[in-house]
């Protein structure tokens, strides 16, 4: 059975998750950011896995757009795998709705806890704490991969009703309402060399270089790739990120991230 593993990632947690699932199941690794640029997402795989981070207890908007474009989804098994720093709420339910609109259904939804990367709220976690999460990840990813490889069905890992209502209902709605203006707070300091990594790494092509400096164009997903991967730490978001430590999953390289955005070697 052919398996496609589609991923979206800002700092590598989902990319390493997707890579390991691909390794363990013999699946093909595919970028959501690239796939979503086509009118339809065509795949001959009988099983697909969608790996993405939780944002404000819901999915990134681009992942929902992607889910609504998958062709012939009703004839595929669809696994949702989320990564998150705390808890996922009812994130899976949003993708479920999108897949159901196309006649498909979610076979199972699994979660993987990873270090949080939301630098607009907090800096990178202490290294000791990260190490513990990475150790647990090694175990967890085997369980998740086996579940998918064996074609198991029916597990939907969610928080309880009240938490889902509060976080995935109310807070996610607020996040979506604020999203269009959220990139207004990004700016490049005098440390910026105009190298263009931010433009190339942005998975949704939201950054342009004007006069050698990045400008955010209002279609940001809040993935944090630009601020977390800037080689000079020249990108800030308001005043609070100046002192905050950057986070990236250690084994994921800039080249891996540029592959996601379709800009490797470009």
Ligand X SMILES: Cc1cc2nc3c(=O)[nH]c(=O)nc-3n(C[C@H](O)[C@H](O)[C@H](O)COP(=O)(O)O)c2cc1C
Count of beta carbons in the 10 Å neighbourhood of residue 60: 26
- Range list of β-strands (E), 144-198: 186-188
**What span, in angstroms and rounded, lies between the C-alpha atoms of 94 and 166?**
15
**Could you tell me the smallest distance in angstroms from the CB atom of residue 44 to ligand X?**
26
**Could you tell me the smallest distance in angstroms from the CB atom of residue 46 to ligand X?**
26
Nearer to ligand X, 225 or 234 (CB): 225
Nearest Cα to Cα of residue 162 among 46, 64, 26, 57: 57
Nearer to ligand X, 147 or 249 (CB): 249
- The 3-state DSSP class for residue 72 equals coil
**Could you tell me the smallest distance in angstroms from the CB atom of residue 57 to ligand X?**
4
Q: Which stretch binds ligand X (CB under 6 A): 52-60, 196-204, 207-215, 229-237?
A: 52-60
Q: Which of residues 157-176 bind ligand X (CB under 6 A)?
A: none
**What span, in angstroms and rounded, lies between the C-alpha atoms of 179 and 168?**
15
Q: Which of residues 178-207 bind ligand X (CB under 6 A)?
A: none
**What span, in angstroms and rounded, lies between the C-alpha atoms of 108 and 206?**
32
* Residues forming a β-bridge with 113: 84
> How big is the site for ligand X, counted in residues (CB under 6 A)?
25
Nearer to ligand X, 51 or 78 (CB): 51
* Residues forming a β-bridge with 237: 186
Q: Which stretch binds ligand X (CB under 6 A): 12-20, 25-33, 42-50, 125-133?
A: 12-20
Total length of the chain: 266
CA angle 93, 95, 98 (to 5 degrees): 115
Letters for 223-252 (x = contact with ligand X by CB under 6 A, - = none) are xx----------------------------
**Could you tell me the smallest distance in angstroms from the CB atom of residue 233 to ligand X?**
17
Q: Which of residues 67-106 bind ligand X (CB under 6 A)?
A: 83-87
55 is a site residue for ligand X (CB under 6 A):
yes
11 is a site residue for ligand X (CB under 6 A):
yes
Q: Which residue has the tokens 């099983």?
A: 47
Which tokens sit at 235? 């990108």
14 is a site residue for ligand X (CB under 6 A):
yes
Nearer to ligand X, 15 or 226 (CB): 15
Q: Which of 5, 21, 36, 56 binds ligand X (CB under 6 A)?
A: 56
Contact between 111 and 85 under an 8 Å Cβ cutoff? The reply is no
CB-count exposure of residue 246 (10 Å: 0-12, 13-18, 19+):
middle
Q: Which of 54, 62, 144, 188 binds ligand X (CB under 6 A)?
A: 54
Q: Which residue has the tokens 């967890």?
A: 140
CA angle 227, 233, 239 (to 5 degrees): 70
53 is a site residue for ligand X (CB under 6 A):
yes
Query: Residue numbers of the site for ligand X (CB under 6 A)?
Result: 9-15, 53-57, 83-87, 114-118, 222-224
């Amino acid at each position: 059975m052919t398996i496609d593993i589609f991923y979206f990632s800002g700092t590598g947690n989902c990319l390493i998750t997707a890579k390991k699932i691909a390794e363990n199941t013999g699946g093909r690794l595919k970028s959501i950011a690239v796939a979503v640029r086509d009118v339809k997402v065509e795949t001959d795989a009988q099983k697909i896995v969608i790996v993405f981070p939780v944002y404000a207890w819901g999915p990134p908007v681009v992942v929902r757009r992607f889910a609504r474009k998958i062709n012939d989804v009703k004839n595929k098994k669809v696994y949702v795998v989320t990564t998150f720093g705390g808890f996922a709420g009812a994130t899976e339910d949003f993708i479920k709705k999108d897949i159901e609109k196309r006649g498909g259904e979610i076979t199972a939804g699994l979660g993987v806890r990873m270090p949080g990367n939301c630098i607009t709220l907090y800096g990178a976690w202490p290294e000791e704490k990260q190490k513990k999460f990475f150790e647990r990840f090694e175990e967890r990813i085997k369980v998740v991969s086996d579940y998918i490889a064996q074609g198991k069905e029916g597990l939907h890992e969610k928080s309880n009703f009240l938490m889902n209502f509060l976080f995935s209902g109310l807070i996610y709605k607020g996040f979506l309402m604020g999203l269009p203006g959220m990139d207004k707070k990004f700016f490049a300091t005098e440390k910026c060399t105009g190298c263009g990594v931010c433009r190339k790494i942005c998975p949704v092509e939201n950054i342009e270089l004007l006069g050698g400096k990045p400008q955010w164009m209002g279609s940001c997903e809040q993935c944090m790739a630009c601020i977390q991967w800037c080689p000079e730490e020249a990108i800030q978001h308001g005043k609070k990120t100046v002192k905050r430590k950057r986070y990236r999953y250690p084994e994921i390289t800039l080249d891996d991230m540029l592959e996601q955005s379709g800009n490797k070697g470009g």
